Amino acid sequence: MTDLVERCTNAGLKMTGQRKVILRVLGEAEDHPSVETVYERAKAQDSSISIATVYRTLNLLDEMDLVVRHEFKENFSRYEVNMDHHHHLIDLESGEVIEFQNEDLEELKERIANELGYDLIDHRLELYGRKIKKKK
């Protein structure tokens, strides 16, 4: 949480009490909450927070590249703090978002870009699947 507040302050964002609550909600989230979920969690900590404040804050944090907005083939966005590089596997049945890192994948992406004559600058990888049913 302190690191996130510091990153926001260093980026020139005025740190109001409501923004700190929203940042705390994002920093503590183990899922990838929607705007509505962030609002519900923030409202439980500070009843004066409005949904409009949450929308504005998340949009501002996204513009500043301090959070990442994901679509995940849903009709709403989900958010997470932009900290470490990772990928996502989305369970199509439960909606669960599983974060993972894989060094072989990182090397493969770099090799593909290089073979095509490019330096890899950025990318986003999302995998979608269903749990394999175990045979009885």
Neighbours of 77 (CB within 10 A): 17
Instruction: Please enumerate in sequence order all residues whose Cβ is within 8 A of that of 125, keeping only pairs 6 or more positions apart, or say none.
Output: 87, 88, 105, 109
- Using pLDDT thresholds of 50, 70 and 90, give the confidence band for residue 100: confident
Q: Most distant CA pair in the chain: distance in Å?
A: 58
Per-residue model confidence (pLDDT) at position 2: 66
pLDDT tens digits, one per residue of 18-64: 988 998 998 888 888 999 999 999 999 999 999 999 999 999 888 88
Listed by start position, the domains of the chain span: 2-81, 87-129
pTM: 0.67
- Residue 4 confidence (pLDDT) above 80: no
Among left, alpha and beta (phi > 0; psi -120 to 50; other), residue 17 is alpha
Residue 1 has pLDDT above 60, yes or no: no
CATH number of the 87-129 domain? 3.30.1490.190
What percentage of residues in the chain have a pLDDT greater than 70?
99
Alpha carbon distance 39, 49 (integer Å): 8
- What CATH number does the domain located at 2-81 have? 1.10.10.10
